[in-house]
Each structure stands twice: as structure tokens, then as C-alpha cells.
């Protein structure tokens, strides 16, 4: 697996101003509109915000900062015996088929599917620029069994989605991601909302302000100042 040592390409400032932590409104949804240009998306993550379509409004882009926020402490990942046994049957790769992974996550037959073509295009571009990464799980026949993808900024990995077509494959991808983050000295794994499924794997919910403080440490405290307005 890669150590992610190569620095991503610069994306510049966003044309859209993002609020400072002290200016964030109540509620998970901060705003709607904007675009999915690399500069917009990267700067959003740097400020604790991420894009997702608004439920019930196809094509309407929302910008979210959940309160509370779901994170997975790296030392709290719950690895079951089944997961350990499954891991022995799979081969782990990183960044070898990003588009196939995001395509698997975007399968329209999945419950609560939200990853539209505009997100596939945007995050594939982020991958090409070195910001978005995939962890891939292959079976012994060389078939893609599952995986996950997300955005890395310094010590932050913002997990976006994961999928599996074979038993425990997405959980094995998560195990591999945690190992990779530990090896790379990355402290913060963001999972957005702490769902029951993620909680069963060790995720916890923390207050937004605590998340933003951890985020500042993870990205060297250099990204929570207001962007220059145009």
C-alpha cells in the first residue's frame, strides 16, 4: 500500500466564502448552492464542511457541518474475529481503481443512495489532483469485493462512502485505512454522522466545536482563517 507521501496539487482559494467556526449556524445544513470545483471542495473540508445533495431535492447541492459530528478514533476500531478471518482472504490496494470504487458506492440500488454523476466527476478530479483516495479490497480471483473512498488533507481523512459485494469487504477496507492512517501519523478519521452501523465499528459522536478543534490540529491549524473575499 502507498504511504500517501506525494503532496497533492494546489487548488487555490475558493470563490465561495466559508464561515468561521464562530459564525456557524445551528443545524447540520449550513447552506445550499455553490459548485464542486476542487478549490471549493478542498477548502470546505478544511473548514469542517462537506457537500452532499439535499434529501428530496435532487440536484440541489447542500453544505453540511453536523452537530454532533461522527468520528472514528483510530484506537477504538472494533475488529471482530470474523473481520480478521475475512482480511486473510483479501488483497488490499490503494488508489488503483478509484473510479470503480466510487462507482460501487454510487450504485443506485443501494438504500439512501446519494452519489450522483456530478459527485463522481468532482471526486474523480480530486483523485487525479491527489486529494481523494480509495482503499480497495480484492478477492483471491482478483475481483473487486469492496472498498471505500474519501478526502485526505494533512492529518485528516474525511470518509465519504464504502461498499461491499462480498462479506466484510468494506469493513476490511476500513481496517486497512486505519492501519494506513496510523502508519502515516494521521490522527483524525471523520465519518460525518455516527450511524448505528458506524457506532458498531467504534465511531463516536462529538460536539461540532470539539471536531473543529481536532480538525485544526489535524491540518496544522493553518486553514480555519477566513478566505480572501472577491
Per residue in 16-39, pLDDT (tens digit) is: 988 877 788 899 999 999 999 999
Cα distances from 216 to residues 57, 63, 136, 181, 210, in angstroms, run 32, 19, 29, 17, 10
CA-based radius of gyration for the chain: 17
Q: What is the DSSP string of the chain?
A: -----SPPPP----SS----GGGPPSSSEEEE-----HHHHHHHHHTT-EEEEPTTSTT-EEEE--SSEEE--GGG----HHHHHHHTT-EEEESS-HHHHHHHHT-TTSTT----HHHHHHHHHHHHTTSEEEEEEE-TTS-EEEEEEEEEETTEEEEEEEEESSTTHHHHHHHHHHHHHHHHT--EEEEES--HHHHHTT-EEE-HHHHHHHHHHHTTT-S-SPPPP-
Of the candidate ranges 13-27, 158-172, 174-188, the one whose mean pLDDT is the lowest: 13-27
pLDDT band at 143 (very low <50, low <70, confident <90, very high): very high
14: which residues sit within 8 A by CB, 6+ positions away? 37, 39, 40, 42, 43, 44, 227
> What is 23-66+209-218's CATH number, 3.30.70, 3.10.450, 1.10.3470, 3.40.720?
3.30.70
| Domain ranges across the chain | 23-66+209-218, 71-208
Q: Answer yes or no: CATH 3.40.50.720 is held by domain 71-208.
A: no
Cβ(158)–Cβ(50) below 8 Å: yes
Per residue in 26-84, pLDDT (tens digit) is: 999 999 999 999 999 999 999 999 999 998 888 899 999 999 999 999 999 999 999 99
Q: Is the pTM of this model over 0.85?
A: yes
Cβ(155)–Cβ(219) below 8 Å: yes
Cβ(12)–Cβ(40) below 8 Å: no
Amino acid at each position: 500500500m502507498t504511504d500517501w507521501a506525494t503532496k497533492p496539487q494546489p487548488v487555490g482559494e475558493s470563490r465561495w466564502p466559508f464561515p468561521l467556526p464562530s459564525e456557524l449556524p445551528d443545524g447540520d445544513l449550513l447552506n445550499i448552492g455553490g459548485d464542486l470545483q476542487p478549490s471549493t471542495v478542498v477548502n470546505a473540508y478544511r473548514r469542517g464542511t462537506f457537500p452532499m445533495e439535499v434529501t428530496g431535492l435532487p440536484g440541489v447541492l447542500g453544505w453540511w457541518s453536523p452537530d454532533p459530528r461522527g468520528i472514528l478514533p483510530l484506537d477504538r476500531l472494533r475488529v471482530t474475529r470474523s473481520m480478521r478471518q475475512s482480511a486473510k482472504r483479501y488483497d488490499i490496494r490503494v488508489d488503483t481503481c478509484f473510479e470503480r470504487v466510487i462507482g460501487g458506492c454510487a450504485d443506485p440500488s443501494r438504500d439512501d443512495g446519494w452519489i450522483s454523476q456530478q459527485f463522481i466527476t468532482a471526486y474523480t478530479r480530486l483523485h487525479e489532483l491527489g486529494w481523494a483516495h480509495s482503499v480497495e479490497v480484492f478477492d483471491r480471483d482478483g475481483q473487486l469485493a469492496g472498498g471505500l473512498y474519501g478526502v485526505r488533507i494533512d492529518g485528516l481523512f474525511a470518509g465519504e462512502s464504502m461498499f461491499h459485494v462480498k462479506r466484510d469487504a468494506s469493513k476490511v477496507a476500513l481496517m486497512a485505512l486505519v492501519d494506513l492512517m496510523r502508519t502515516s501519523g494521521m490522527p483524525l478519521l471523520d465519518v460525518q454522522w455516527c450511524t448505528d452501523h458506524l457506532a458498531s465499528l467504534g465511531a463516536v459522536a462529538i460536539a461540532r466545536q470539539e471536531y473543529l478543534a481536532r480538525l485544526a490540529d489535524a491540518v496544522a491549524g493553518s486553514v480555519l482563517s477566513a478566505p480572501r473575499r472577491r
